[in-house]
Structure formats: C-alpha cells, structure tokens
C-alpha cells in the first residue's frame, strides 16, 4: 500500500520520489502505529546518487578544508536547534527512551565537533633531506565517493561515526539508512540541505538489499562503512572487497561482564542493569553475559534480579519510563523463543520478562528485563547475540576461567570487569580479547575523539569509525619525493 507518507530520496540536491515498486511500513514499536512508508529503492537510484556524488567530488575536493568544515559548524548549530525534535523522532521509530535518544544525538553531535578539526587532522607529514638535497612529503587526499549502510538501533548516531569525517576530508557521500528507522535521517539530511552544502555532496537513498548490492557493485563508490549483524557484515566485506573497495564492517556482539568478589555490589548492579536493559538490550555494547567469580555469585544474583523486576517498561516518550520496546514483532518473537531455548538448555529463568501487559500499549513489542541463571557456557544462548533485554548469568571459580570464557567467544566488541583491584584490572585489560574494554563501566562506548574498536567477528577491516581512524579511512596517502638542485635556480 502506498500513501502520502512515502519517504523520498535525496539525490543531487533534490528530494525525489523513488520509482520503487515495493514499500515497507515504518512502524512505531511502542504503539504499532504506521509512521511512514519507506521505498525499497532500485539499483538505478543508487547509481544516480553515485554519479551525482562523483560529479560533485570534482569541485568539493578542491574546496579548501577550512571552507568544507564551515558546513559542519552550521550543521552543529542546526542539530542543537533541532535536538528535541530529532531525539523524539528516534524514540518514535526506534522505541528507546527519550533520555536514551538524547544521549544518542549528543554522541552524534560530538562527531561533528571533532570533524570540524579536519584542517589539522588531515595534515600529512614531511621530512627534509631523506637523502642529500631530497625532501619527502606525505599528503592525504580524499578517495572520491563513499557510502554508509546503517543498522536500526542508532538511527541518529551511527551515520555520524563516518559522515562528518568523510565530507570534511573532501569525499562525497551516500547514506543508506536502515529501512526500519528511516525517519531520523530524513530530518538530518533536511538540516544538511539547510547548511547550503553543494548539491551531490551528500545523498540519501532509502532501501534494503537491492540498494545495498548496488552500493557494493558501483565502480565509482570507493569506500563503504557498514554497521549491522555479523552475517551481513561478512557478506558486505567479501563482495565489496571483491569489487576492490575500501571497507570497514562493524558486526554483532555478545558482550561478557565479569564481576569479582571485591566489586561494589550496589554500583555494579546499577551499571550492569543499565548496560543489559538500556535500549531494551539492542546495543552492540549491551552486557549480555554476567560472569560472577567466587563469592560475587550470591550478592550480585539477588541484587540484579531485584533491579530487573523494578525496571519501568513502556513507551519511551512517557515520563519515568526506563526501557522501551524492541524494534519489531518478529524481533520480540525471536527473543522469546531464545529465552525458551535457554530453559531447554538447562538454565533457570530467574526473572521472566516475556508476554508483559503494558497498559495502553497492548500492540507494542514489549519484553520486560529477563534473567537466565546457570546458563550452559557452551550452549546456544551463551553464544548467540540475543539483541534484547536478556541477561545470562554464569558462575566460575577464578578470574582466569572468566577471562578464558571471554576469549572463547566468536565476537570481540566489548568485555568489562567490575573490581576494586588494580592488579586484576591490569590483568584483564591486558588479556581480554575485545576492542572495547570497560573497567567498572558497563557500556565502554568510545567518545568521538577515539576510534570505536571491535575485534574478531565484531569487526571486519582495519580502520575503525570516528576520530583519526575515520580520517585515515576517508583519505589516501600520496608520497612526494622532491629534488631541487640549488644551481637550477640560477637560471632565473
Ligand atoms: P542488519 O544486519 O539486519 O541490517 C543492517 C543493514 O544491512 C541494513 O541497512 C539492511 O538494509 C542491510 N541488510 C540486511 N540484510 C542484508 C542482506 N542480506 N544483503 C544486503 N544488505 C542487507 O542489522 P540490524 O538488525 O539493522 O542491526 C542490528 C545489528 O547491528 C546487531 O547485530 C548489532 O550488534 C549490530 N550493530 C553493531 C554495531 C557495532 O558497532 N559493532 C553497532 C550497532 C549495531
């Protein structure tokens, strides 16, 4: 069904209706109300965007970096002015609480702020007299057209791990938002348009697999950033690499948190509950397995169960709500099935959050915080990314066993330790195989001025998003070696 609510694409500075023949409904996950229809744009529309971006690149790369970042300064101001509306839009389409959406937009804006420093960050290096009378200079130049393929869980923030750096470095850009949450990016691109950015520098193409495949195959798209699940990350990485593209593909996760007996129980419980149940567990840095060591078992288990039961679940727009719904009805069913599977693998369902009744929101995709105790450490539940508000508890006897469990996982996005021991922290930081480490921190989210690391099957590529890694990803180095014999100048 098509109605007036069909979202347009933004190609070459024009908002244009897609020629798509298929549309998906964008649904508010708390109310099940229809918000919009998103077109599944065909390859031809990605091709138009790529051609427009390639044309725009000719002039954009010659625009001085100091001028390019003026658009980012304007964007920063527009994002601040529209902060409330953007945060509300994230909650409407994604379900997280308003406070979580505000946090997300703050992190997005911080990336714009960091990218305003490109005139310094993009500088190269040089050395005189690499041999007698010969100087060498390393210059960074933009690549050309780059694209981002986004997941559903941070519609406002994730594109900003890449976009501001890409355009500030002189590249032109294509955004493919998640088809589940395309509204936030519509609004952000409207703000980008208001900065006066030249046409074709940023393009927006809505869609799903056909649009992604067209991005992967277009010869003029030089670099692709992907964030999403690991199977799709692997697909993007291999098909994109076969086509000679530069790639950074951020995948899924299964984040373990270790609690030592000397951890402060009150603080640990509060922080781990926020990590496991914040954003309804739909964060790539959500705590998914809590591993208690020794005596931590009893105190932590009781405390986290109490905290989980008390969490206020509802529409993220309502005041006092601490956790919203999961993204779709299918996602809710999948999570409920995984909880059941955990029981079948022998776990005790300590807190059962399935099938809640949320007054006024009976159609919403709600699951309350859930805790599975004594989870089989080699079973499916201990290995599968649930991406919902489900925490698995495992008990072990030593920190060595706990670190071995952390390192046996296929993912390596984040691992955390709760302790008051500096020596234990140092050992953990040194030995844990994950790209983001938290010590007495539940969501080790790197700020915009650090790269967002990720190891093993949580990341495919080399250079990460944000900060100096983003600058390296969006530029290619050129080395110039020069000899200017001094007697040549005598001719003039
Ligand atoms: P997803 O993999 O289903 O979709 C991500 C994007 O890929 C979407 O734009 C979608 O249109 C596209 N896509 C999906 N299937 C495709 C296919 N077969 N071929 C081509 N394109 C396809 O992920 P999601 O459900 O939107 O997001 C949740 C996942 O993202 C979780 O696994 C989460 O851990 C991960 N994630 C990772 C990070 C990180 O930093 N590592 C951050 C956020 C989310």
pLDDT tens digits, residue range 227-279? 999 999 999 999 999 999 999 999 999 999 999 999 999 999 999 999 999 99
Predicted local distance difference test score (pLDDT) of residue 134 = 97
Residue 171: both structure tokens together: 């590249």
pTM beyond cutoff 0.90: yes
The ligand 1 atom nearest the CA atom of 151: 26
Nearest Cα neighbor of 222 from 50, 60, 65 is 50
Active-site choice (169, 249, 284, 416): 284
Predicted local distance difference test score (pLDDT) of residue 487 = 80
What percentage of residues in the chain have a pLDDT greater than 90?
A: 97
Q: How far is the CA of 228 from the centre of ligand 1 (A)?
A: 2
Q: How far is the CA of 234 from the centre of ligand 1 (A)?
A: 11
Residue 59: both structure tokens together: 């002039």
Among 107, 151, 248, say which to mutate for ligand 1: greatest number of ligand atoms within 8 Å of CB. Answer: 151
Residue 150 is a catalytic residue: no
Task: Assess whether pLDDT exceeds 50 at residue 147.
Answer: yes
Predicted local distance difference test score (pLDDT) of residue 488 = 79
Q: Cα 444 to chain center, whole Å?
A: 13
444 close to 438: Cβ distance less than 8 angstroms = yes
| CA dihedral sign of residues 44, 48, 50, 54 | positive
Average pLDDT of span 207-227: 98
Average pLDDT of span 179-183: 98
Q: Classify the complex by whether its ipTM is higher than 0.90, answering yes or no.
A: yes
Residue 313 backbone phi and psi in degrees, to 5: -110, 140
The ligand 1 atom nearest the CA atom of 253: 34
Using left for φ > 0, alpha for ψ between -120 and 50, and beta otherwise, residue 72 falls in alpha
Residues with CB under 6 A from ligand 1: 149-154, 176, 178-179, 208-209, 212, 227-229, 232, 235, 250-253, 284, 385, 387, 413, 454, 458
In the chain the domains, ranked by start, together with CATH numbers, are 9-251+462-479 (3.40.605.10), 255-439 (3.40.309.10)
Q: How confident is the model at residue 1 (pLDDT cuts 50, 70, 90)?
A: very low
Read off the pLDDT of residues 399-411 as tens digits, 9 standing for 90 and up: 999 999 999 999 9
Among 40, 176, 206, 229, say which to mutate for ligand 1: greatest number of ligand atoms within 8 Å of CB. Answer: 229
Q: Cα 469 to chain center, whole Å?
A: 15
What percentage of residues in the chain have a pLDDT greater than 70?
A: 98
């Amino acid at each position: 069904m098509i109605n007036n609510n069909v979202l347009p694409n933004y190609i070459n500075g024009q908002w244009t209706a897609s020629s798509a023949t298929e549309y998906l409904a964008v649904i508010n996950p708390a109310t099940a109300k229809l918000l919009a229809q998103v077109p599944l744009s065909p390859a031809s529309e990605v091709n138009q965007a790529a051609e427009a971006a390639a044309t725009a690149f000719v002039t954009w790369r010659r625009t001085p970096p100091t001028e390019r970042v003026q658009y980012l300064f304007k964007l920063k101001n527009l994002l601040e002015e529209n902060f409330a509306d953007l945060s509300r839009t994230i909650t409407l389409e994604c379900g997280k609480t308003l406070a979580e959406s505000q946090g997300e937009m703050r992190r997005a804006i911080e990336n714009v702020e960091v990218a305003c420093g490109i005139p310094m960050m993009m500088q190269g290096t040089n050395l005189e007299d690499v041999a007698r009378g010969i100087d060498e200079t390393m210059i960074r130049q933009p690549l050309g057209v780059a694209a981002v393929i986004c997941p559903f869980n941070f519609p406002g923030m994730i594109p900003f791990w890449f976009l501001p750096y890409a355009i500030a470095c002189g590249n032109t850009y294509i955004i493919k938002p998640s088809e589940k949450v395309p509204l936030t990016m519509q609004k952000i691109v409207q703000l980008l348009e208001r900065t006066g950015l030249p046409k074709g520098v940023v393009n927006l193409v809505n869609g799903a697999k056909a649009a992604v495949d067209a991005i992967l195959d277009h010869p003029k798209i030089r670099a692709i950033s992907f964030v999403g699940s690991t199977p799709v990350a692997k697909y993007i990485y291999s098909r994109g690499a076969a086509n000679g593209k530069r790639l950074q593909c951020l995948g899924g996760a299964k984040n373990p948190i270790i609690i030592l007996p000397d951890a402060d129980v009150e603080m640990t419980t509060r922080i781990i509950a926020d990590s496991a149940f914040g954003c309804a567990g739909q964060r790539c840095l959500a705590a998914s397995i809590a591993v208690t060591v020794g005596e931590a078992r009893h105190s932590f288990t009781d405390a986290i169960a109490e905290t989980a039961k008390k969490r206020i679940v509802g529409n993220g727009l309502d005041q006092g709500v601490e956790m919203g719904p999961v993204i779709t009805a299918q996602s809710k069913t999948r999570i409920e099935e995984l909880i059941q599977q955990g029981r079948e693998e022998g776990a005790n369902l300590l807190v059962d959050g399935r099938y809640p009744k949320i007054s006024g929101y009976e159609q919403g995709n709600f699951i309350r915080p859930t805790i599975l105790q004594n989870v089989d450490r080699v079973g499916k539940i201990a290995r599968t990314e649930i991406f919902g508000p489900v925490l698995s508890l495992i008990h072990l006897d030593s920190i060595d066993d706990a670190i071995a469990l952390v390192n046996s996982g296929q993912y390596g996005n984040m691992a955390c330790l709760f302790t008051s021991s500096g020596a234990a922290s140092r050992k953990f930081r040194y030995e844990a195989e994950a790209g983001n480490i938290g010590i007495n921190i539940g969501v080790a989210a790197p700020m915009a001025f650090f790269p967002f690391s990720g190891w093993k099957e949580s990341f495919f590529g080399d250079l990460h998003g944000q900060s100096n890694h983003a600058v390296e990803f969006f530029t290619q180095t050129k080395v110039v070696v020069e000899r200017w014999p001094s007697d040549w100048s005598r001719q003039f």
